[in-house]
Structure 1
Amino acid sequence: MTTQDFQQQINSIKRAVQGSQLSQATALVAQLKAQSLVAGQRVEVLYLAAVIARLSGNHQAAIAELNELLGLRPDHGRAYQELAYNYQASGKAQEAASAFFRATHYNPALVASWKQLLAIYQQHNDTAAQQLASQQIEYLQSLPPQILGAYDLMYEKQLGAAEQVCRQFLQQNKHHSEAMLLLAELGIQLKVYHDAEFLLESCVELYPDNLRAVISYLSLLAKLGKHQKVVSISDKQLARFSNNLQILMAKANALLGLNQTDEAIEMFDALLATDADRPAVWLALGHAYKTTGETDKATHAYQQAAHYHPQFGDAYWSLANMKSYRFDEQSLNDMVQTEQQASMNIEDKIHLCFAIGKGFEDAKQYAVSFDYYSKGNQLKLNSVQYDIRRAEQAMEAQMKACQADLFSSKSGGFPSPDPIFIVGMPRAGSTLLEQILASHSDIDGTMELHNILSLASSVSGQKKPYPFCLADLSHEQCYQLGKQYIEQTRYYRGTASFFIDKMPNNFMHVGFIKRILPNAKIIDARRDPIDCCFSNFKQLFGEGQEFSYGLDEVARYYKAYEKLMTHWDSVLPGDVLRVQHEDVLDDLNGQVKRMLDYLGVPFEQACLDFHQTQRLIKTPSAEQVRQPINRQGQGRWQPYQEQLTPLLAHFNRL
């Protein structure tokens, strides 16, 4: 069915509902359900079916339709609102209250749900909740109807429609603060970060008393890894918004991002000294201690986060992600019970499923472990609405745009030889390579820097999108972009001659890197595909890496990555050094010398004794690389062989 045909039938159903012709609407929905629909279309049909069932007085049928819908889209705010109305009509007040709460969690623009919650809070004399609901209602009702409608569209994942409404409004109401904030948020969701940053910066300058704008701006800068800017702006804003918790947390996390760990921990401790019931602060403190290798303190902080917020899924996942931490049987049983509670929101449920999966894996109950890993991944995949074809198309675009003549016929770029890029798939051993190389006296380790991704985004033009615009970059533009990168990353390095940028996703931008930094070194960290893909499948990432949440998706992504790296080898022969993880385990001495020879630095024994190097590490592998070389990560997929048939088939390993 074409999109146009589908929309015509949807419009016919809506007209029937508006005309109170519910029998006709029900028949049209039944016909549409019988068609072969994609997931997004099925969600829309199920929602209409539920509305029709409720209007017909068939609340149980409506609830069944909505439960099926939420299985496909667990973050559908309007579906929860509709569910709440049906529970209300069925006399199930507690279930209705929970559904209204979830509706506002996933779609904060639902005024009707906020009003229902306010009435519930008033009945229970919950003063704090009343105040929150009243403030949100007041804010939403202050918005122009067009902007409120656009927010609703955005929260329901209709980003294109929301953007269109917002831009039309701004044409008539230039520099409207709430419209600017909304357009910036849409830019962030669409990953047009450069435009979003400009909008938020402008909004903060035009409306300095708008706290929402300040918080959004700081959040985006943190997402882009611009930690120094976050610290500077936070200091300025704290003079206006004294002791604001969100700004203080933004500054503390930025200090952590700048490796000023002691200062960050001091800020977290100060916040907890004034109020210990701050789970998010405990979590951030745990992350800080994990970075420094103080695992006992990190464990305590994560446990405190869970203590103050028993449904805080991220606290349990952070414990599980410590790798060396083990849940006892009682804790694991308690987590299973918590995950089943109806009041759990999807984000916490996802985190908890991954934590339980890790707990049962450690207990060698592999079938149960896989069930929870699989459940967590499916919930995450549904919530992000990821389409692997976009990543495949992006890599194909790189191969089309970056042919050999792009590098042979173009000169320029900033000549600095300082950067060493370690690229590749996540969970492929890049943290180990960084730890080895950062143990050398001439090389500084940093972290996964966002600067290349940000600079690549900034060059995309209206005439030619990235990466096709690379061919049009002048000598001077390449020079300035390379210079910007070196200047922007200066905050993260020490005094060594070279530094490492370990952002794995930079494998997508090797062509861009060589245009702006022709003397940069690039190492491709490669790992056995099954070990690598399964390790990704088990890992819940803080942000991005959406390809990892499905066995088919991660396998296709790995194969596309391999194909792109082969392309780089073809058009940039000898420029990228591939280091196979298994070779490092088999011959550490040989692979270390091979890497150092490629980088042009002399051998140092410290690179073999890498586990003794004291430095801050901010990846899931932080604990492993503080140990001598070992094979604990090899073959971890084998107990799951039966469940991994789809993955094994991709690589002819059945």
Structure 2
Amino acid sequence: MSQDFSIQFQSIKRALQSKNLSQAAQLIASLKTSELAVVQQVELFYLSAVTQRMAGQFNTAIGELEQLLNLRPEHGRAYQELAYNYQALNQPDKAASAFFKATHYNPALMTSWKQLLNIYRQHQDTNAEQLALQHIAYLEQLPAPILGAYDLMYEKQLASAEQVCRQFLQQHKHHPEGMLLLAELGIQLKVYHDAEFLLESCVELYPDNLRAVIAYLGLLAKLGKHQRVVTISDQQLQTYPDNLQILMAKANALLGINRTADAIAIFTALIEEDQDRPGVWLALGHAYKTTGESAKAVEAYLQAAHYHKQFGDAYWSLANMKSYRFDEDALANMAAIEADPSVGVDDRIHLCFALGKGYEDAKQFEAAFKYYEKGNKLKLISVGYDITRTEDAIAAQIDACTPAVFANVKGGFPSPEPIFIVGMPRAGSTLLEQILASHSDIDGTMELHNILSLASSVGAQSTSGGKPYPYCLADLSADQCYQLGKQFIQQTRYYRGSAPFFIDKMPNNFMHVGFIKRILPNAKIIDARRDPLDCCFSNFKQLFGEGQDFSYGLDEVGLYYQAYEKLMAHWDEVLPGAVLRVQHEDVLDDLEGQVKRMLDYLGIPFEQACLDFYQTERLIKTPSAEQVRQPINRKGQGRWQPFEASLDPLLARFNRQ
């Protein structure tokens, strides 16, 4: 069907180009009777809207675009089309709003920017006019292929955008805009190693290119290379001492390496300079949350919402405090904001999750699920998650990591220092980390990206000449494994104190247990496991900062949990005894017994502080920060039960109906 659709799709475009509207309409009507994938439906609705507008059927065109935007709420060109129709219907306010959304979701739409410029001039909005002029000037200086590739990227046609960009770079090898765009595509495609190399090269070639510097800092932060961000920020601040983006990059990186007081000092100075900085208030709230200063965190989040009424992340951050409760007036206000058509998709997603939590706390479970479901649906569309990619990656690990790979294997860095806590998010891993980090011999750190980055680098190296990751693990030499393990220990030094052992709590490392044991043979690995319904529904209710894209659908999270179980069973088979499984419910039933079991596995003597974990003062940067500062309790158990009537996909998957 895909090839047939492509042929018919091109026929519709040719009919439109020749203004044969009746033929285009007939072809569209014929295709609408077919079974189409979502991406094909989006393309068809768009062409149908264009056809209807050209035929003067403006309200019909708007209806087609509304159906499109239900499938793809971030479709910039659809908003541009919507604006044309509102202009034709003499509805200037709606047209202006649509043009604004068009440029928000697709900043490469020159026509929409020029329309906005006229609107800003009519309203004598000087500041907005200057911003529009600056953006138009930037777009006009871009080479045509790069502008076209940006347009493709913003419309989620990543493969086509990459092809155009690479063709351009073949003719203009070190063009900065081409390098920047290819790096951005690499980030969106999660090819982080390639993107990092491109941005590092771009900054070296064009040290005065501020866009390249800021993009590089952003990627380094995403990869958890916080010390590198601090170093580069300090260098750049000598040239740009007042640049807000660089100052924020540095402050957030300082948080990443546990220099929280220094980060708070930067945020505070920025707010004293200008209080109307909602993004800085939000970051300050996050900083206070990690230190356990809940009242200060709440006040900062409230200030963020005060200065930006539609700032979804401010409301979600309040909801994510867990102990914070919205009153009826606050919930009504948030619901009204969420219902406002002018609210952007990202803010709407955050508001939906916040409302879900707020109504759940108020025991209005039907309203809560309505918002959880809406927020998850919007987020799933936004991230474009496909469970088959995860299942394929797990199948590759099982296929590549056979017992032979680990039989009599030598090499690797022999350090006994790392303790990895892996598993599903929301499975109790933060509690285990808090318990173990209360021991005088163990440092808690954070969810470190280093294993993911090293595995990516191995994959990047092998694809150019050898087997791809993880199939290359069997071919790594003893020295390669030693150097990779040593690199991990050196890279993670920034996040540690002086204790002989430290924890890396990145849950997704369950995918890389084989890689960990090849490069760090003496590392200890704990699998944090939780009842599947409690775990999956907790994931469904949680809006993560990044990653964990599987969590935004009941089917997706259930399938992911089963895939995770399958891979952990494989590690048990090929690496018997290497992983200690700790069931969350067992910790709740017998804290002391499970603490002693974990410490015995680690070869570390028992300390009472591990039982008094809630008294330990340390920085915690996960959604469970507040819970683990309380004594052991069962508040998280059975939280799915009031929503049971809406959870058929999960109940069926785990035979709990």
Which letter maps to 1:188? I
Counting only pairs closer than 5 Å after superposition, residues 466-505 of structure 1 correspond to structure 2 as 466-505=469-508
Q: Secondary structure at the match of 1:317?
A: helix
Q: Hey, what does 1:548 align to over in structure 2?
A: 551
Query: Structure 2: how far apart are the matches of 1:406 and 1:344?
Result: 53
Are 2:347 and 1:348 equivalent residues in the alignment? Answer: yes
Unaligned segments of structure 1, at least 5 residues: none
Q: Hey, what does 1:282 align to over in structure 2?
A: 281
Query: Structure 2: how far apart are the matches of 1:653 and 1:94?
Result: 51
Query: Structure 2: how far apart are the matches of 1:637 and 1:488?
Result: 40
Q: Secondary structure at the match of 2:413?
A: coil
Range 235-244 or range 245-254, more displaced: 235-244
2:565 to 562, 565, 571: 562
Q: Secondary structure at the match of 2:645?
A: coil
Are 2:299 and 1:296 equivalent residues in the alignment? Answer: no
Q: Hey, what does 1:120 align to over in structure 2?
A: 119
Q: Hey, what does 2:588 align to over in structure 1?
A: 585
Are 2:169 and 1:185 equivalent residues in the alignment? Answer: no
Q: Hey, what does 2:574 align to over in structure 1?
A: 571
Query: Structure 2: how far apart are the matches of 1:527 and 1:575?
Result: 19
Q: Secondary structure at the match of 1:179?
A: helix
Are 2:306 and 1:307 equivalent residues in the alignment? Answer: yes
Which letter maps to 1:534? F
1:521 to 501, 520, 524: 524
Q: Hey, what does 1:322 align to over in structure 2?
A: 321
How far did 1:242 drift?
Answer: 2.2
Q: How many pairs align? A: 653
Counting only pairs closer than 5 Å after superposition, residues 210-225 of structure 1 correspond to structure 2 as 210-225=209-224
Which letter maps to 2:522? N
Q: Hey, what does 1:34 align to over in structure 2?
A: 33
Q: Hey, what does 2:356 align to over in structure 1?
A: 357
Counting only pairs closer than 5 Å after superposition, residues 39-50 of structure 1 correspond to structure 2 as 39-50=38-49
Counting only pairs closer than 5 Å after superposition, residues 380-395 of structure 1 correspond to structure 2 as 380-395=379-394
Q: Deviations over 1:130-186 (max 9, x none)?
A: 111100000001000000000001111111111111111011001000000000001
Q: Hey, what does 1:425 align to over in structure 2?
A: 424
Instruction: Report the TM-score when normalising by structure 2.
Output: 0.99
Query: Structure 2: how far apart are the matches of 1:465 and 1:162?
Result: 24
Which letter maps to 1:486? I
Query: Structure 2: how far apart are the matches of 1:408 and 1:505?
Result: 25
Which letter maps to 1:305? A
Q: Hey, what does 2:8 align to over in structure 1?
A: 9
Q: Secondary structure at the match of 2:646?
A: coil
How far did 1:413 drift?
Answer: 0.6
Unaligned segments of structure 2, at least 5 residues: none
Query: Structure 2: how far apart are the matches of 1:93 and 1:639?
Result: 46
Q: Hey, what does 2:338 align to over in structure 1?
A: 339
How far did 1:4 drift?
Answer: 1.4
Which letter maps to 1:280? G
Q: Hey, what does 2:533 align to over in structure 1?
A: 530
Q: Hey, what does 2:139 align to over in structure 1?
A: 140
Query: Structure 1: how far apart are the matches of 2:18 and 2:126?
Result: 42
Q: Percent identity?
A: 75
Query: Structure 2: how far apart are the matches of 1:55 and 1:480?
Result: 63
Query: Structure 1: how far apart are the matches of 2:343 and 2:577?
Result: 52
Q: Secondary structure at the match of 1:641?
A: helix
How far did 1:409 drift?
Answer: 4.4
Counting only pairs closer than 5 Å after superposition, residues 156-235 of structure 1 correspond to structure 2 as 156-235=155-234
Query: Structure 2: how far apart are the matches of 1:148 and 1:469?
Result: 38
Query: Structure 2: how far apart are the matches of 1:400 and 1:37?
Result: 34
Aligned-residue RMSD, C-alpha? 0.6
Query: Structure 2: how far apart are the matches of 1:545 and 1:94?
Result: 38
Query: Structure 2: how far apart are the matches of 1:512 and 1:55?
Result: 57
Q: Deviations over 1:34-73 (max 9, x none)?
A: 1101111111111111111111111111111111111111
Q: Hey, what does 2:600 align to over in structure 1?
A: 597
Query: Structure 1: how far apart are the matches of 2:475 and 2:162?
Result: 29
Which letter maps to 1:598? Y
How far did 1:410 drift?
Answer: 2.8
Query: Structure 1: how far apart are the matches of 2:532 and 2:381?
Result: 24
Instruction: Report the TM-score when normalising by structure 1.
Output: 0.99
Query: Structure 1: how far apart are the matches of 2:108 and 2:652?
Result: 44
Query: Structure 2: how far apart are the matches of 1:456 and 1:637?
Result: 36
Q: Hey, what does 1:268 align to over in structure 2?
A: 267
1:624 to 623, 627, 631: 627
Q: Hey, what does 2:405 align to over in structure 1?
A: 406
Are 2:28 and 1:25 equivalent residues in the alignment? Answer: no
Are 2:505 and 1:506 equivalent residues in the alignment? Answer: no
Q: Secondary structure at the match of 1:499?
A: strand
How far did 1:5 drift?
Answer: 1.3
Query: Structure 2: how far apart are the matches of 1:535 and 1:485?
Result: 31
How far did 1:19 drift?
Answer: 1.1
